[in-house]
Chain A
Amino acid sequence: MSHHYLLPDISQPGKIGCSLPQLDVSPAELPPQELLRQELELPEVSEVELVRYFTALSKLNYGVDTGFYPLGSCTMKYNPKWHEDMAKLPGFASIHPYQPEESVQGSLQLMFELQEYLAELTGMNTTSLAPIAGAHGEFAGLLIVKAYHRDRGDKARKKILLTDSSHGTNPASVVMCGFDIGVVASDSEGNVDMKSLDSMMNEEVAALTLTMPTTLGLFDPQIADISQLVHERGGLLGADGANLNAFLGHVKFGELGYDYVQLNLHKTFSTPHGGGGPGSGPVCVTENLVDFLPSPLAAKDNGKYTFTSPAKSIGRIGNFYGNFSVMVKAYAYIRSLGAEGLKAVSEDAVLNANYLKEKLKAYYYLPYDRTCMHEVVFSGKWQKAKGVHTLDIAKRLLDYGLHPPTVYFPLIVDEALMTEPTETEGKQTLDAYIDAMKEIAREADENPEILHTAPHNTPVRRLDEVRAARNPDLRWEMNSQRRKE
């Protein structure tokens, strides 16, 4: 059940959660008083109490290890447990980033090989592992585009084209790089409207960012024409690679005509999502963009591994080299699956999504009734006509012990339910989800009230988000006046 207390409520002076060594050297003189802190007010809790507290909180949480978690474009696949053990090996966890290179050859080799594997999987030339999340990788990709055109002496290209189904990080990243945005429309099939692209693609456009498959879970078969059009007019073609799970081991972005792609190791490559990170967002580029990659890159020189800086690098985007522990897990994944195993991943991912599509399309409106890839986007349109919104459907799924799909995205689908089962679910689980969704569709007809008031069986019920936004309460406070003595 919900925990209504916080650390200050269980704090008592004199408690501590761990033991520390005594000072073994003679103490030095303390610096002047004005540099020192007057009071440090932090809770004081015994190890027993704090472990119980955090354990209780963990039990209120739903993760992939709890059950089905079909968040669209998040690829909530199962995280193999032995990867965690590998990342925790002292040889990987307890190494300092500035240790002499000869003392970290293992890590440098792992990074170098991972760079190669990701380049191979995407059909690109080189990978930078520096970006710390997908959005960070998008940022790096766009800075590379900027540097590329500047290097060519082309100052006119001030715009990036996106599609109307793009993830919010895409336009936000564009603005972080000082570009303007143009939005290309989608046609009724969910593909790029070629007329729209044709009219917008000109010498002011630096690049088109096109997620593939799109956030609708659809592969745009026009990709070769799109690539040709963009390149003919001097632009670059970039991918938000968040949806790679759709054709991992099948298709190479490079062969589709892409110049750069940013990946999400915490999605496609099975590393845990952590409740919101850590992730890793490597960016892979073609040969003509290699010089601009962020610094540093792992390299091999005469059998020794080292870091290098690309000749015209966009610079440093993080303090060190990227999220190394996350790289260890992704590396382990690729080594344990191999090309065939990775291909099998996308096959089951696509199979599972199409199965859900077929089984539910009689119950939920399917705006694009065509073969989908790794995710399927439904609309709650039919239920809306009965006064039941996608939000209600999502909340009711919680009562069935299932995590809902992503809701209200992509924006071009009304009342969207973006559903990505991933390959780490079996038919039994999918059938349970299908049954629950059918039941909810029936409830929308016969008993909509139960949907409006859902969830009923969760640790807390619907939360007052208006109050949270109008009167933000973002922290507790402890000060010496309020402490219990």
Chain B
Amino acid sequence: MNPKEYKYTQEHEWICPESGNKGKMGFTDYAQTQLGDIVFLDLPAPGTKVEQFKKLGEVESVKAVSDIFAPASGQVLEVNQTVIDEPKLVNEDPYGAGWLVKIEMSDSSELGNLMNSDEYDKFVAGLSEEGSE
């Protein structure tokens, strides 16, 4: 179930807006299924500036590397150390304990560029139909 209050990117990241222009981000359930067992996360340090839809890090499964894209522009406030120590949390609880970084957004209107949960559900359903992996 994709949480209703989250926003989604085409690269299967979510952002959960919090008060004060902050937002927590992570991978969707679809993403973690596609990635398989995650073994390593390369996340940016607090203070790093990020730009919407640009690469901010990498995620590794046993046999693949994928880029992680920022759902919004701003500055990294906090990195989820638990998930760095235990990457499997991303597979087990992608919307909760498996969050990746907290961002201070520089322009919250950018959230308008993202999909809401209904739109994202439709988007994922379309991908599955195409049969692409």
A and B in contact, CB less than 8 Å: yes
- A residues near B, CB below 8 A? 408, 414, 465-466, 469-470
13 CB < 8 A contacts A-B: A408-B63, A414-B133, A465-B63, A466-B37, A466-B39, A466-B62, A469-B39, A469-B40, A469-B62, A470-B39, A470-B40, A470-B87, A470-B88
Kindly provide the distance from the CB of A431 to the nearest chain B CB, expressed in whole angstroms.
33
Give the 7 A-B residue pairs with the shortest CB-CB distance, closest first: A469-B39, A466-B37, A465-B62, A470-B39, A469-B62, A466-B62, A466-B39
How long is the Cα–Cα vector from A470 to B88 in the complex, in angstroms? 9
B51 at the interface (CB under 8 A from A): no
Known: A466-B37, A469-B39, A469-B40. 12 other contacts (CB 8 A): A408-B63, A414-B133, A465-B62, A465-B63, A466-B39, A466-B62, A469-B60, A469-B62, A470-B39, A470-B40, A470-B87, A470-B88
How far is A408 from B39 in the complex, measured between Cα atoms in Å? Answer: 20
Residues of B within 8 A of A414 (CB): 133
Q: In whole Å, how far is A386's beta carbon from the nearest beta carbon of chain B?
A: 15
Select from chain A the residue with minimum beta-carbon distance to B86.
A470
Q: Nearest CB to that of A470 among chain B residues?
A: B39
**Distance (whole angstroms) from the CB of B26 to the closest CB of chain A:** 19
B residues with CB within 8 A of A: 37, 39-40, 60, 62-63, 87-88, 133
C-alpha spacing A465/B60, complex, angstroms: 13
- Across-interface contacts of B63 in A (CB, < 8 A): 408, 465
Task: State the CA gap A75–B113 with chains docked (Å).
Answer: 51
Q: Which residues of B contact A465 (CB under 8 A)?
A: 62-63
Instruction: Please report the C-alpha to C-alpha distance between residue A418 and residue B11 in the assembled complex, in whole angstroms.
Output: 31
Q: Chain A residues near B88 (CB, 8 Å)?
A: 470
The majority secondary structure among interface residues of chain A is: helix
Please give me the residue from chain A that is nearest to B131 by CB atom: A414
Cβ of A166 to closest chain B Cβ, rounded Å: 18
Taking the closest CB of chain B, its distance from the CB of A473, in whole angstroms, is 14
How far apart are A395's CB and chain B's nearest CB, in angstroms? 15
Least distance between B53 CB and chain A CB atoms (Å): 22
The answer for the CA separation of A469 and B59 in the assembled complex, in Å, is 13
> What CA separation (Å) do A408 and B87 show in the bound complex?
25
B123 to chain A, nearest CB (A): 22
Q: How far is the CA of A470 from the CA of B39 in the complex (A)?
A: 5
Tell me how far the C-beta of A265 lies from the nearest C-beta in chain B, rounded to whole angstroms. 29
Question: Measured between alpha carbons, how far is A470 from B91 in the docked complex, in Å?
Answer: 13
Most chain-B CB neighbours within 10 Å: which of A408, A414, A466? A466
Chain A residues lying within 8 Å of B39, measured Cβ to Cβ, are: 466, 469-470
Complex Cα–Cα for A319 and B62 (A): 35
Across-interface contacts of B60 in A (CB, < 8 A): 469
Bound-complex Cα distance A469 to B37 (A): 10
Chain A nearest CB from B81 CB (Å) reads: 15
CB distance from B117 to the nearest CB of A (A): 30
Chain B residues within an 8 Å CB radius of A466: 37, 39, 62
- Closest Cβ of chain B to A171, distance in Å, is 13
Closest residue on chain A to residue B40 by CB atoms: A469
CA distance A446 to B121 in the complex (A): 36
Closest to A408 in B: B63
B109 to chain A, nearest CB (A): 35
A469 to B64 alpha-carbon distance, docked (Å): 12
Cβ of B127 to closest chain A Cβ, rounded Å: 16
Q: Identify the closest chain A residue to B62 (Cβ).
A: A465
Assembled-state Cα–Cα distance A465/B37 (Å):
10
Chain A positions within 8 Å of B37 at CB level: 466
Residues in B neighbouring A469, C-beta threshold 8 A: 39-40, 60, 62
Chain B residues, CB < 8 A from A470: 39-40, 87-88
CB closest residue in chain A, given B88: A470
Which partner residue on chain B sits nearest A384 by CB separation? B133
Q: Which residue of B lies closest to A466 (CB)?
A: B37
Residue from the set B40, B60, B62, B88 with the largest chain A CB neighbour count within 10 Å: B62
Given the complex of chains A and B, what is the CA–CA distance between A237 and B85 in angstroms? Answer: 47
Complex Cα gap A248–B88 (Å) = 49
Kindly provide the distance from the CB of A165 to the nearest chain B CB, expressed in whole angstroms: 18
- Give complex CA distance A414, B133 in Å: 10
CA distance A43 to B90 in the complex (A): 41
Give the Cβ gap from B82 to chain A, nearest Cβ, in Å.
Answer: 14
Give the complex CA separation of A465 and B87 in angstroms: 14
Cα(A206)–Cα(B87), bound, Å: 42
Which chain B residue shows the least CB distance to A415? B133
Give Cα distance in the complex from A408 to B63, angstroms.
Answer: 11
Shortest Cβ distance from B85 into A: residue? A470
Output the least CB separation between A443 and chain B (Å). 24
Whole-angstrom distance between the Cβ of A348 and the nearest chain B Cβ? 34
Determine the chain A residues whose CB is within 8 A of the CB of B62 once the complex forms. 465-466, 469
In whole angstroms, what is the CA distance A470 to B37 when docked?
Answer: 10
Q: Report how far A469 CA is from B35 CA in the complex, Å.
A: 14
Q: In the complex, what's the smallest C-beta–C-beta distance from A129 to chain B, in angstroms?
A: 34
Q: Which residues of A contact B133 (CB under 8 A)?
A: 414
A414 CA / B87 CA spacing, docked (Å): 28
The interface residues of chain A lying within 8 Å CB-to-CB of B40 are 469-470
Chain B residues within 8 Å of A408, by CB: 63
The chain A residue with its CB closest to the CB of B39 is: A469
Task: Give bound CA distance, A9 to B133, whole Å.
Answer: 46
The distance in angstroms between the C-alpha atoms of A408 and B133, with both chains bound, is 14
Bound Cα distance A465, B40 (Å): 13
Residue of A nearest to B133 (CB): A414
For the complex, give the distance between the alpha carbons of A360 and B63 in Å: 28
CA distance A418 to B62 in the complex (A): 21
Question: Which residue on chain B has the smallest CB distance to residue A469?
Answer: B39
A470 to B63, CA, bound (A): 12
Instruction: Give complex CA distance A332, B62 in Å.
Output: 41
Complex-state Cα separation, A458 to B62, whole angstroms: 22
Q: Kindly state the separation between the CA atoms of A469 and B36 in the bound complex, as whole angstroms.
A: 13
